[in-house]
Structure 1
């Protein structure tokens, strides 16, 4: 999911980036704020769901045991 931010340059300095971010935030309409907030929440839940699924898959793999058949041999 793409970010709500629209960067003006590819490699801004910290202060340029901060100023652009503040300008975007201040001049955004309420609809833009709502849309961005919804996207951010969906992204957070999507990431937490992916982490939970990976954790569950890892737990299932940990439960699997490998069993080798016992072989005995008698020598005389």
Structure 2
């Protein structure tokens, strides 16, 4: 899934990039804001789902060690 953000220049300084981002945000239509918000939420849930699946797969792997019993008198 792609970002809503349209970077104007790859070699822009941080401040130029920030200025462009704010300008883009201010001049976006309500439909663009809604679409971007939906994409962002879907992306967040998609990433959390991937993390949950990975952690559940890791839990499925079990190792067992032979049990040794010793009797002391």
How high is the TM-score relative to the length of structure 1?
0.81
Runs of 5+ consecutive residues of structure 1 not aligned to the other structure = 68-76
Kindly report the root-mean-square deviation, in angstroms, between the aligned alpha carbons of the 2 structures: 1.4
Q: Which has the higher contact order (CA 8 A, sep 6+)?
A: 2
For 2:55 and 2:44, the matched residues in 1 are separated by: 16
Q: Which runs of 4+ in 1 moved over 3 A?
A: 64-67
TM alignment of 1:1-76, pairs within 5 A = 1-61=1-61, 63-65=62-64
How high is the TM-score relative to the length of structure 2?
0.84
Runs of 5+ consecutive residues of structure 2 not aligned to the other structure = 67-73
1:58 Cα shift?
0.4
1:15 Cα shift?
0.3
Number of corresponding residues:
66
